[in-house]
Structure 1
């Protein structure tokens, strides 16, 4: 497979490229929440345990820049900002679902407590 450069980074395969777009700790949880609903910033922050304001802001910015989410700012005091998923983001959801189901399967194989697994499903 030929290597390629995108935004000054060398990639060796398309899986690496895709995971760089949606991978990491926070991008998938953000996309997952936006798949069925538009969220305001504060709602997302409250709905994603353990994410810091700095990390949420930076991940939202990256997802928006790469076309996975839309950001709409309303002229109001205080400012109202809403985030929604795009067609590109929705296409990623099907991939995330496959990875999620595989993760659940692996959790069962590795003997993770069934109570935890049931709470995920």
Structure 2
């Protein structure tokens, strides 16, 4: 076979086609590998998201439990303060019964007038 420009062109075009075919094969392989890596990354991200949401839910439940106990503590403190106030008022009434009666009478009269 002689080396003519036409034969050289055919040979070069064949080499070009083979190179393009190999490039397409390599590109497809790269895309498959990228898709597999992306899928694996999505699975990892999904697992991390589930773990984080679970941790958040646990922390929220713990906070609610603590809130319940804190509320009870506040109610107990208020009840103790109320008892102290009642005891203080009882002591004041024992010390000054006439003044206490006068104040109670005046308060009752004022409430009655406002209620009419």
TM-score normalised according to structure 1 size: 0.21
- Larger relative CO (CA 8 A, sep 6+): 1 or 2? 1
TM-score normalised according to structure 2 size: 0.22
Larger radius of gyration between Structure 1 and Structure 2: 2
Greater helix fraction, Structure 1 or Structure 2 = 2
Greater strand fraction, Structure 1 or Structure 2 = 1
